[in-house]
Chains A and B, each alone.
Chain A
Amino acid sequence: MRAPLIGEGPSESLIVRNERSELSRVSGWVHAWVRRHRLPSKLAQILDLCTAEVVTNIISYAYDDNAAHPISLKLSIDEGRVSLEVEDEGKPFDSGQVAAQPSPLSLEEGRIGGWGLRILRHFASDLRYRRVDSRNQLTVFFQLPGPTPH
């Protein structure tokens, strides 16, 4: 059992609607992709979590209307890392620039929500954002574990 070779570049895409009921489909897709590429289960959990946070953010904040909008997802492997590309047609939102929720000092202080960005930045090795033709294009990179030294 080995990790895919660098540069093999297998990738797959999924398009979902901006509805919370789609989150289970997103999770199933992530886990199936990781299994297919024989990547570590820890990476599956991290990808699952981070994909859920990005998609939840889009569902929650990207649109002012109640219409259905597509969210495009793509996973690929290249040069020792996994990239998750997420595209939506919502309001401009640069996950790399927006301030993450600070840690709460006590139960009485601080907001109750807004943890997604902090989680994303912790687990991702890099985030890249572009606004192209009225679409948000976010790419989140995750470092694959290297060979264990002996």
Chain B
Amino acid sequence: MDLEVQQLDGGIDRIKLAGRLDSAGVQEIDHRLSALTAARQAILVDLSQVPFLASIGIRILLTNARVLRQHGGKMALLSPQSLVEEVLKVTGIESIIPIFHDLDAASAALKAPAVGG
């Protein structure tokens, strides 16, 4: 699994993942993603090139979103493929890590002040 970071306006880091977010994929990105969420405030995880999301992949998204929240940051997900989006909905993840299919809307949401600290 590949991980590429692109810095957007407003202090947002767009993390483009490419490949399967399964057990092997999680192992490949775990440390880099953790380092980014520990250091940054607004992370947009671009899932457009992720064809497969297993429960272990959900776990890494939730863990990092929680770390971000603990230091006042935010995470959002961008453009998941249809089956990946279905998995995010079925597990209820979309209600706590918002999903966007539009970069501008995602950026606006990440720039907005955090609700409830």
Contact = CB atoms under 8 A, between A and B. Distances in A.
Interface of A: 20, 23-24, 27, 42, 45-46, 48-49, 52-53, 56, 101-108, 112-116, 118-119, 122
A112 B63 contact: yes
A101 to B, nearest CB: 8
Contact of A49 (B24, B62, B87): B87
B96 A119 contact: no
B90 A48 contact: no
B24 A24 contact: yes
Q: What are the 5 tightest A-B residue pairs by CB atom distance, in nearest-first order?
A: A103-B92, A115-B55, A116-B55, A122-B90, A115-B91
B23 interface: yes
Interface residues of B, number: 27
B83 interface: yes
29 contacts: A23-B22, A27-B20, A42-B83, A46-B83, A49-B54, A52-B23, A53-B54, A56-B23, A56-B55, A103-B92, A104-B62, A104-B92, A107-B66, A107-B97, A108-B69, A112-B59, A112-B62, A112-B63, A113-B56, A114-B55, A115-B55, A115-B91, A118-B90, A118-B91, A119-B54, A119-B55, A119-B87, A119-B90, A122-B86
Nearest to A121: B90
The secondary-structure label for the interface of chain B is: helix
Contact of A45 (B69, B83, B92, B93): B83
Contacts of B66: 107-108, 112
A122 to B, nearest CB: 4
The secondary-structure label for the interface of chain A is: helix
B96 A113 contact: no
A103 B94 CA distance: 10
B100 interface: no
Nearest to A101: B91
Given A20-B23, A106-B96, A113-B55, A49 B83 contact: yes
B92 to A, nearest CB: 3
